Amino acid sequence: MVVDLVAARVLAQSGLLRPARPDRLLGMALSVARWGVTLATGYAAGAARHPLREALVDDDGSLSWRDIDRRTGRIAGELRARGVGEGDAVGLLARNGRGFVETATALAKCGADVLYLNTGSAGSVLADVLRREDALGVVYDAEFGDLLAEAARGRLALTTEELGRLATRPGPKAPLRPSHTSRQVILTSGTTGAPRGAARSGAGIRDAVSVLSRIPLRAGGTTVIAAPVFHAWGLGHLSLGMLLGSTVVLRRRFDPEQVLADIEAHRATALILVPVMLEKLLAADPSTYDLSSLRVIAASGSALPGELAERTLAAFGPVLYNLYGSTEVAYAAVATPGDLLADPHTAGRPPHGVTLRVVDDEDRELPPGEAGRIFVANGLAFDGYTDGSDRDRLGGLVATGDLGVIDEDGRLTVLGRTDDMIVVGGENVYVGQVEDVLLAHPGVREVAVVGEEDRTYGARLVAHVVLDAPVDTAELQDWVATRLARFAMPREVKVYDELPRNSTGKVLKRELRDATP
């Protein structure tokens, strides 16, 4: 009963329990009955409840909820006619915009599994992923035609532009309700190795309640999603926006001035991004735009440096929310503006309905203040990797792959990946702590610390930095030694013009280990 009351309060506060006309409620119920809990349901139910309201704004204009539902029905009919059946895996390589949204929704109506491909991947990586996932076909933005030449060979291959044109013409009817519920296969970031597919079924109401219990998004608003929607963070907010009946603004490419202009022009209430985008927004001088409508800036996808959190709060006000999660566990903890003001390095507390534990190497739960492996249970944890492998599990909890510590107030601090705890001369060094200390130096803009083998100490730390001003590397070494410990000092500092990152802003440390500045 307590859980039901909490969920009801969260849904009421978000505006999701507003009354609707009986005929529209019936239409929404029929949509769920036909499509299950998928992207298809979101747009079909929205078409029943608020058919003419704007659902999507992109570089090509705007579409209503009814527009998207009708267009995706036609696209689904075309896909089925071309051989896309229930349970088939189809790759999708598209930038933010209607091509992505309509293809994913149409594939859900076909009962096909959607394999979200990273627009920053090399052609050989895409070919390997499609082969490994046994994909029937691939749908892609035309700009990626050359990149997919090898990967698309022998497979059904269509462009999003072609499907968009077919959506405006009479064609095969949309499929009946599929018996197979479409799965979403999201690739891991591949920062330390080859990306792997992590499959999960559609999110439900309890997942929305979890997120909304910590991030106060409201129904009927406008959300600018700057994060890539092929990534779990952007995709999750696309789905959440459908549930909330929000207008979603998507742009093919991230441009900080365009983002700020969109917030002003559309009176956006929420902005969804990855932390590296915050740096560029701050550099674009947000004070020159009217951002008074903005209630939430939600960041995730990579670590949020504490000093960046402080600068963002100073520039935008108390609207920054940082979600800690992973492709495998979806969401684990959320830091609210209050949490970040108290400790800018915190990952926050677990949302409603989430179990979070920090355990030692013997799987024993650790008390506050002691560091260990992070395990999480919620309604959206993945079903395992599509190659048959899995994460470590502890009962119903899944390992995030990170080390962390919970303080006396219940806030989690993430110390880094489990393989980022480096033993230097018998002492445990948490790479994340070293990076935070270096970022606090006024001359350091970006940093990534990696471990390398060392004959004397077993391992040594190497810091890869981007500087804002000339700084002697010995000064940076002393900066760490005097704030952490001598054994935590990087034995070498390498200076770069920029660090290699993937499309969600994560630093590709596997490239740094063999890199030359």
Q: Is the pLDDT of residue 29 over 50?
A: no
Radius of gyration of the chain (CA): 23
Locate 292 and state its tokens.
């008074």
Region 129-138: mean pLDDT is 93
Q: Is residue 457 in a domain?
A: yes
Q: Is the pLDDT of residue 431 over 90?
A: no
Rounded to 5°, the CA angle 7-365-461 comes to 110
Q: Residue 14: which pLDDT band, with cuts at 50, 70 and 90?
A: confident
3-state secondary structure string across 61-104: EEEEHHHHHHHHHHHHHHHHHCCCCCCCEEEEECCCCHHHHHHH
Which pTM was predicted? 0.81
Q: Which residue has the higher pLDDT, 373 or 517?
A: 373
DSSP calls for 404-441? EEE-TTS-EEEEEEGGGEEEETTEEEEHHHHHHHHHTS
At residue 231, the pLDDT reads 87
Give percent above pLDDT 70 in the chain: 88
Q: What is the mean pLDDT of the chain?
A: 86
The helix/strand/coil state of 123 is: helix
Q: Is residue 446 in a domain?
A: yes
At residue 381, the pLDDT reads 61
Q: Residue 197: which pLDDT band, with cuts at 50, 70 and 90?
A: low
Strand 458-467 versus strand 444-454 pairing type? antiparallel
- CB–CB of 512/505 below 8 Å? no
* CATH value at residue 455: 3.30.300.30
Rounded to 5°, the CA angle 283-287-288 comes to 95
Highest mean pLDDT among 176-180, 185-189, 211-215: 211-215
Show the domain range for 461.
425-512
Report the half-sphere exposure of 164 (CA within 13 A, side-chain side).
Answer: 14
Q: Is the pLDDT of residue 37 over 70?
A: no
Q: Which residue has the higher pLDDT, 210 or 79?
A: 79
Q: Is residue 187 in a domain?
A: no
Q: Is residue 147 in a domain?
A: no
Highest mean pLDDT among 43-52, 135-144, 201-210, 384-393: 135-144
At residue 317, the pLDDT reads 97
* Nearest-10 Cα torsion for 247, 253, 256, 258: -50
At residue 11, the pLDDT reads 78
DSSP state of 361: T
pLDDT tens track for 327-370? 778 789 999 999 999 999 999 999 998 999 999 988 899 999 99
* Cα separation, 432 vs 435, whole angstroms: 5
pLDDT tens track for 238-249? 988 988 899 999
Q: Residue 25: which pLDDT band, with cuts at 50, 70 and 90?
A: very low
DSSP state of 514: T
Q: Is residue 450 in a domain?
A: yes
* Nearest-10 Cα torsion for 134, 228, 450, 279: 170
- CB–CB of 162/20 below 8 Å? no
At residue 507, the pLDDT reads 85
At residue 285, the pLDDT reads 93
| Dihedral angle sign, alpha carbons of residues 225, 231, 236, 238 | positive
* Cα separation, 477 vs 429, whole angstroms: 15
Q: Is residue 78 in a domain?
A: no
Number of domains in the chain: 1
Q: Is residue 501 in a domain?
A: yes
